[in-house]
Amino acid sequence: MAIRRILTYPEPSLKNVAKPVENIDGRTVSWIDDMVHTMYAAPGIGLAAPQVGLPQRIVVVDVGVDDDEEVERGKHLLRIVNPEIVEAEGESVFEEGCLSVVDFRAEVKRAARVLVKGWDTEQREVSLEADGLLAVVLQHEIDHLEGTLFIDHLSRLKREMYSRRVKKALREGRPIAPERSAGESA
């Protein structure tokens, strides 16, 4: 397993729609293993293949919580090939962040419950009902497969503020600085 570089905004390929996986073979499983290793190393709770430069419809997710307690890493690991949201209902708002949107978090409105279908690495069909954090993470990662970042769900003003901050940091050749709240000093 290898840790892959996670692409970050404003990388243009993050806006591309991923292609369906035609055959789940050893190469596909190897990519997925790399994605899992990369997600845990980041650390993150979800990762989509386009975030590591693979234009394929693959997501890995591990929300890692059970009854509000941390559990052993990998116990809740999901590897889904060609995931698709087939049902969505309700509405919830969660504060989201993203490994590809550095040092920025914001509240995003999403469906409260989803039904996701896809395939596992053994080529078996997967059907998963999710709510709460898992529903949010699945929607977030599947958005990546459509070329959508969580900031695309925000107001134009919030997106532009983040974009300006990132572009300024890139022009100046410095890392993107974390946001500061109004009460924090520079």
Q: What is the DSSP letter of 186?
A: -
Residue numbers annotated as active site: 141
Q: Write down the H helix ranges in the chain.
A: 26-41, 132-145, 156-171
Closest to 145 (Cα-Cα) out of 77, 27, 60, 22: 60
Closest to 46 (Cα-Cα) out of 105, 148, 163, 133: 133
Distance CA 56, CA 82 (A): 8
Contact 88, 98 (CB under 8 A): no
